Amino acid sequence: MTHDIDVTTERYFSDYYADVLVPSVSDPAPVVLLWHGITPNERQVMRKLGMELADGGAVVVVADWSSTAIDEGRAALLASVQWTQERLRGAAVDWDRACLIGWSRGARAALGYALDHPRNPFGRVIGLAGQYAIPIATASRPPLELASTQTDVDVVLIHGTADLMLPAQGSHIMYETMTSAGTNSRLVLVDTDHAGVVLTRWDEDLKICLPERVLTPGEQDVLEVVCEFVFDLVR
């Protein structure tokens, strides 16, 4: 590992918890907030990606939330943003490189939040295997509708070409809409499936996503693109 990582689990809102991953770095670190998908309180699915980013030098918060809550997760997701700001106040972090990353339904939540709240603390957003034409609790309208207006948010959409759960067409349409509106956006297609874009594999027997021990070439491509965006390796 490149850095030693301090890992704590803390309650951030009501009965919701977040993992806070803080690497041993001397320079101000990028801030990354990770939102998982539709299954309630499944932050462990994002843990592999979070650890990789912390290993590279980012301070990472991996938050639980529940799409089955009465408000479909709105209060918890918005609270995770506020809590992350408060939790890291005074820490050696670089908010100019703050990035919100969501997967599956979390991708829709992340894009909806960022596009509907242009003054939010996250100037960069990554959507992993999302579908953006459907309403989401973090926004007043579906992200695809919001995308028709230019924003200052920088966006990267990543989708697996082997994704049978949410085909990549949704990311294509979202990207084209944002680009036409003038939003700085990028679409990256990778050779993996729905689970692979968060560096996991679906276990059919256990019915859960498990972290990959050895990344496939497609998963390595995902990690490379995410790191380039988070750490300013290519801008």
Report the pLDDT value the prediction gives residue 234, as an integer from 0 to 100.
46
What is d(CA 142, CA 158) in angstroms, rounded to the nearest whole number? 19
Q: Token pair for residue 4? A: 């030693």
Length of the chain: 235
Topology of domain 5-230, per CATH?
A: Rossmann fold (3.40.50)
Q: So what's the pLDDT on residue 119? A: 87
pLDDT, position 233: 63
Whole-number Å distance between alpha carbons of 173 and 133:
9
Predicted local confidence at residue 26, as pLDDT = 83
Q: How many CB atoms lie within 10 A of CB 56?
A: 22
The tens place of each residue's pLDDT in the chain, 235 residues long, gives: 477 999 999 999 999 999 999 999 988 999 999 999 999 999 999 999 999 999 999 999 999 999 999 999 999 999 999 999 999 998 999 999 999 999 999 999 999 999 999 889 999 999 999 999 999 999 999 999 999 999 999 999 999 999 999 999 999 999 999 999 999 999 999 999 999 999 999 999 999 999 998 999 999 999 999 999 999 864 4
The whole-angstrom separation of Cα 22 and Cα 24 is 7
Per-domain residue ranges of the chain: 5-230
Residues 82 and 13: beta-carbon distance below 8 Å: no
The pLDDT, as a whole number, for residue 1 is 47
